[in-house]
Amino acid sequence: MIVLAVTTDGRAECIERSLDSLLTRVRGLDGPRLIFDDSGERRYRRWLQARFGPEGFVVIGCGARLGQDLALGRMWRYLRGDEFAGHEWVMHAEDDFVYEREVDARDLCAVLDRHPHLAQMALLRQPWFPAERQAGGIVERDPDAYQPVAEGPHCWLEHRLWFTLNPCLYSRRLCRRGWPRGRRHEWRFGRELCEDSTARFGIWGGGEPWVTHIGERRAGHGY
């Protein structure tokens, strides 16, 4: 079973669009639905529970606002809990992504189960950073670093460049590593995984983006 873990830091206008599209277009999410709230705002937390509780979500507050790396560390410690022992997978979702194409999360699980060297399977977003836009896309920025793989009806790209907290699926076992603190934590986590093992990272399907980033970066908090 798959745990859906959504992170948010107070963007009501984003999370409504994001979860509406996620629940419409991502199938196979048959496990617990969690929202980890790092806004530090009681009013926002109450709104989240009132708005998404009827959709089966449980809202978990981080207390005072922690920032992305500390909040992710707390979330991963929470997901290591015994109550999730029967749930092998985590569908990780941020509050500011809209899902543009239909996907079955169980297909991602099946690929990761057959290929344990893959630490995650991410849904490709549109080019966002200047170098990505200049190159015409994330993959286009360094095309030789991505290896296309096809297996039956499924295809993906493999690489060793980065781990991402953009919408993705990973094994709950990954949470045991803990989340690094400090600047560029996603980049550091990916580098450490590659240094410690033969881990690679996957991008589902290739081609056009599967998700669109609609939020603005939150300076000073890592979001």
Residue 219 lies in a domain: no
Q: Would you state the pLDDT for residue 182?
A: 67
Q: Would you state the pLDDT for residue 223?
A: 66
Q: Would you state the pLDDT for residue 70?
A: 87
Residue 220 lies in a domain: no
In the chain, the number of structural domains is 1
164: CATH: 3.90.550.10
Using alpha carbons, select from 18, 55, 30 the residue that is nearest to residue 106.
Answer: 30
Residue 205 lies in a domain: yes
Give pLDDT tens digits along the chain (223 positions).
Answer: 899 999 999 999 999 999 999 999 999 998 999 999 999 999 999 999 999 999 999 999 878 888 888 889 999 999 999 999 889 999 999 999 999 999 999 999 999 999 999 999 999 999 988 999 999 999 999 999 999 999 999 999 999 999 999 999 999 999 998 887 766 678 788 888 888 788 999 999 978 899 999 987 665 566 6
Residue 203 lies in a domain: yes
Residue span of the structural domain in which 74 resides: 2-213
Residue 223 lies in a domain: no
152 vs 3: CA distance, rounded Å: 26
Q: Would you state the pLDDT for residue 215?
A: 81
In DSSP notation, 34-63 reads EEEE-S--HHHHHHHHHHHGGGTEEEEE-S
Residues 6+ apart with CB under 8 A from 174: 90, 119, 120
